[in-house]
Amino acid sequence: MLSTKQTRAGKVGPAVENVDPEKEENCYTKRSSSSPQGGPKKRSAFGDITNARKNQTVAGKKEAVKVAPSKAQKAHGALGVAKNNEINLKKSMKKTPTKAPAEPEVDSVPERLAPGQELEPLSERIPAAVEDIDKEQLNDPYANAEYAKDIFEYMREREEKFILPDYMEKQPDITGDMRAILVDWMVEVQENFELNHETLYLAVKLVDHYLVEVVTMRDKLQLIGSTAILIASKFEERCPPCVDDFLYICDDAYKREELLAMEMSILSTLKFDINIPIPYRFLRRFAKCARATMETLTLARFICEMTLQEYDYARESPSKLAASCLLLALTMKNLGGWTPTLEYYSGYIAQDLHPLVKRLNFLLTYQPRDKLNTVRSKYSHRVFFEVAKLAPMDMLKLEKALTSC
């Protein structure tokens, strides 16, 4: 039933991938949730109803009235002193010109507090050999460039909380092959509904973490996968599919009550902590550090998405997996190795990634799951630069390239 719903080249969703890689970060963040007619405007009578402006003006007048007499009294007292004592008046006249040089000191404050200097501690300054990748977007209020580094450091810290154990040992009715079939179906659902890639990655993470805690039979595996996509859609999408859509894609194998009960079960089991770090977010960040083209980034995405089906890669750190996928893509394109900028922002040196890069190239070379080719057919489309048709590197050439960089 699902095989008839193939991704069409004219759809808007996949076409988003074929954009300028340097502007890709803004493609998502600059979208407006308002209607095409424009965002809602404030009521013009709002200030009159609350009397906010009137209160401010009245308060300002009261303060002015209070301050004015005090200044007049001081001025009157000063004149009285001047009339009674001419010597003091002459001294005061001599001292008044000396106050003029104080004005340049006030004007010089903005020159000392240049933009970026007072907000950035000395300990957080970027090394000279490292490029500041967020500098270009500091004036973009939608990019939140000043918080980008802290956000990804926080995600790196959360990785330790979501390390997956080997849960297949306690699942008597589920195998790694069944999980691969489920993930292949979830990729097809993501294509048909034109969901974000973040939704797909998060849904797979939800399935894995739920299976860690709950022993499940194979007849409920598709229900878990569809419910995970529903939860991830509510977390990532602006307009998530409805419950009836997920019942339809399951060919009405489950009832509405079962889907809602599974949603409550997954959320309660995970204690509603579903902001799980995924490699796709790190991959976009690292590709920005490498100034990678859209074609190179798409190749790295293809490699990363191929690992979703493999249970052995489910326990890898998301940031390390994303860095390894990008390094392999850069090597396949002969675009250089791991630069100091990538090392600074990723937290990994090239030697830390070499073993995982070799495993990823082995995955592309031998294709252990030829029958589950949804990911390959997806990235064989011209919208994704047909990166799935690229020949993998020879292991000896890869070893030589990794050693030289």
CATH number at residue 191: 1.10.472.10
pLDDT tens for 202-254 read 999 999 999 999 999 999 999 999 999 999 999 999 999 999 999 999 999 99
For the chain, what percent of residues have pLDDT higher than 90? Answer: 62
Q: How far apart, in whole angstroms, are the C-alpha atoms of residue 346 and residue 299?
A: 19
Q: Is 22 left (phi over 0), alpha (psi -120 to 50) or beta?
A: alpha
**Which residues have CB under 8 Å from 358's CB, separation 6+?**
395, 398, 399, 402
- Same domain? 290 vs 318: yes
Confirm whether 130 is domain-assigned: no
Q: What number of other Cβ atoms are within 10 A of residue 86's Cβ?
A: 9
Residues 232 and 314 in one domain: no
Q: Please report whether residue 88 resides in a domain.
A: no
Confidence at residue 38, expressed as pLDDT on a 0 to 100 scale = 45
Does residue 54 lie within any of the structural domains? no
Cβ 230 vs Cβ 241: under 8 Å: yes
Which domain covers residue 224, as residue numbers? 165-269
The backbone region for 195, taken as left when phi is positive above 0, alpha when psi lies in -120 to 50, beta otherwise, is: beta
DSSP conformation letters of 71-124: HHHHHHHHHHHHHH-HHHHHHHHHHGGGGTTHHHHHHTHHHHS-TTTTTS-GGG
Same domain, 284 and 399: yes
Distances (CA, A) of 3 to 6, 15, 252: 7, 21, 16
Structure tokens of 39?
């965002």
Residue 55 forms part of a structural domain: no
Q: What is the pLDDT of residue 115?
A: 55
| Distance, CA of 313 to CA of 374 (rounded, Å) | 18
The whole-angstrom separation of Cα 145 and Cα 157 is 19
Residue holding tokens 């002193």?
81
Determine contact, residues 315/34, Cβ cutoff 8 Å: no
Say how far apart CA 275 and CA 278 lie, in whole Å: 9
The last residue of one of the domains, among 237, 269, 301, is 269
Residues 210 and 302 in one domain: no
| Contact (CB, 8 A) for 128 and 136 | no
In a domain, 361, yes or no: yes
* Measured CA distances, 78 to 81, 83, 89, 100, 383 (Å): 5, 9, 9, 20, 82
Whether 222 and 201 share a structural domain: yes
- As a whole number of angstroms, the distance between CA 270 and CA 136 comes to 38
Task: For residues 19 and 297, give the distance between their C-alpha atoms in angstroms, rounded to a whole number.
Answer: 11
Number of domains composing the chain? 2
Assigned token pair, 33: 């949730």
Q: H or E stretch including 220?
A: none
CB contact at 8 A, 295 and 385: yes
Q: CA-CA distance, 297 to 285, in Å (whole number)?
A: 11
pLDDT at 404: 84
Residues 384 and 328 in one domain: yes
Examine the domain organization and report whether 248 and 316 are in the same domain: no
Residue 202 lies in a domain: yes
Give the chain's end-to-end CA distance (angstroms, integer): 48
Choose among 316, 280, 362, 308: nearest CA to 185: 308
Is residue 187 assigned to a domain? Answer: yes
Is residue 199 located within the same domain as residue 255? yes
Helix, strand, coil percentages in the chain from 3-state DSSP, rounded to 5: 65, 0, 35
Choose one of 238, 269, 300: the last residue of a domain.
269
Residue 312 maps to a domain: yes
β-pair partners for 38: 35
Give the 3-state secondary structure of residue 166: coil
Q: Which two tokens stand for residue 391?
A: 């020949």
283 with 395, same domain?
yes
**Are residues 296 and 394 part of one domain?**
yes
Q: Do 238 and 312 belong together in one domain?
A: no
pLDDT averages per 10-residue partition of the chain, 405 residues: 44 46 47 43 36 48 48 49 53 50 41 49 68 89 89 95 94 95 96 96 98 96 97 97 94 95 98 97 96 96 97 96 98 93 95 96 88 94 95 94 85
Q: Which two tokens stand for residue 183?
A: 């993930």
287 and 398: one domain?
yes
The residue from 269, 304, 332 where one domain ends is: 269
Q: Which residues lie closer than 8 Å to 171 by C-beta, 6 or more apart?
A: 211, 215, 216
Per-residue confidence (pLDDT) for residue 125, from 0 to 100? 72
The pLDDT tens digits of the residues spanning 28-56 come to 444 444 434 444 433 333 334 344 444 45
Query: What is the structure's pLDDT at 91?
Result: 55
Q: Write the CB contacts of 337 (distance below 8 Å, at least 6 apart in sequence).
A: 327, 330, 331, 350, 401, 402, 404, 405
Q: Which of 291, 343, 337 is closest to 319 using CA atoms?
A: 343
